[in-house]
Structure 1
Amino acid sequence: MPVEKTIIFVCAMYCLALAIFHAMFWKLFKWEKDLASLTSANRAIIQILNCRLIYFFLFAAAICILYPVELYTTKLGKAFLSGMSIFWLGRTIEQFIFLRVNSKVVHLLTLVFFIGAVLFILPVFLSNT
């Protein structure tokens, strides 16, 4: 199996893990209690955005599982992988802008986001097509 295909499978598992993590936000962050202090619009926006992220991560995982060869051999696939890498690089940078917390968990998440950026760009650079 080409290394690109293996990395893209890891990308799929990465996205699946992030989808599961986001699905746990309601309990992890006690959203029922914490979001109650927000306006109904802001409460809805946060939950809707989280639901859309869960969908996006599941969609990205499905694309990686169903079309791995197309992802590293076509211009469209490489654009998708590059876009996903930029998504995770942006998320890494946003940690430093919006979540300035000196915490091991926050630092670990920052590393996880950076790993996502690297994982998604690797098949683009490794492919010969």
Structure 2
Amino acid sequence: MHHDLPLMLCALHSFGFAAFHLAFWRLFDWKRELAKVGLPTRAITQILNLRLVYVFLGIGTLCLLFPQELRGTALGHGVLWFMVLFWAGRTVEQFVFLRIHHPGVHVLTASFVLGAVLFAVPLLAP
């Protein structure tokens, strides 16, 4: 396995977000908060969150195991562009849906921008 610092940072970012999403039940008191909504909304929220954890773990693993393929193939570039657009879109959605003026929210927004930049770097380097 060839180590590639930019892709290792992408992996770390992805694994960090997987861990963050696994903490949602505790951080947002989902046992109590989600009890206030109907069963379909409660189920969908938790299922979508777990699927995001799966995506983040998968992307992080790809970054560690297949750095040459991510950098050197059309499919690899497609995966990297997918993640650039994922994080850019998530940044926009932050301003549309979570218009809260709070330092923690601003740090979160910056981490989305960081994700877009991290996944773009391997696309820009020769």
- Per the normalisation by structure 2, the TM-score is 0.96
Deviation of 1:38 (Å): 0.4
In structure 2, what is the equivalent of residue 122 of structure 1? Answer: 121
Q: Secondary structure at the match of 2:4?
A: helix
Residues 87-127 of structure 1, C-alpha deviations (whole Å, 9 max, x = no match): 00000010000000001000110000000000001100112
Gaps of 5+ in 1: none
In the alignment, structure 1 residue 15 sits paired with structure 2 residue 9: no
Moved >3 Å (runs of 4+): none
Q: Distance in 2 between matches of 1:40 and 1:79?
A: 36
Amino acid in the other structure paired with 2:44? I
Q: Distance in 1 between matches of 2:22 and 2:94?
A: 20
In structure 1, what is the equivalent of residue 28 of structure 2? Answer: 29
Matches within 5 A, 1:1-129: 5-127=4-126
Amino acid in the other structure paired with 1:78? H
Amino acid in the other structure paired with 2:87? W
Amino acid in the other structure paired with 2:64? I
Gaps of 5+ in 2: none
Question: Identity of counterpart residues, as a percentage?
Answer: 45
Deviation of 1:5 (Å): 1.9
Deviation of 1:24 (Å): 0.3
Amino acid in the other structure paired with 1:51? L
Q: Distance in 2 between matches of 1:57 and 1:35?
A: 23
The total of aligned residue pairs comes to 125
Q: Distance in 1 between matches of 2:74 and 2:23?
A: 35
Deviation of 1:56 (Å): 0.5
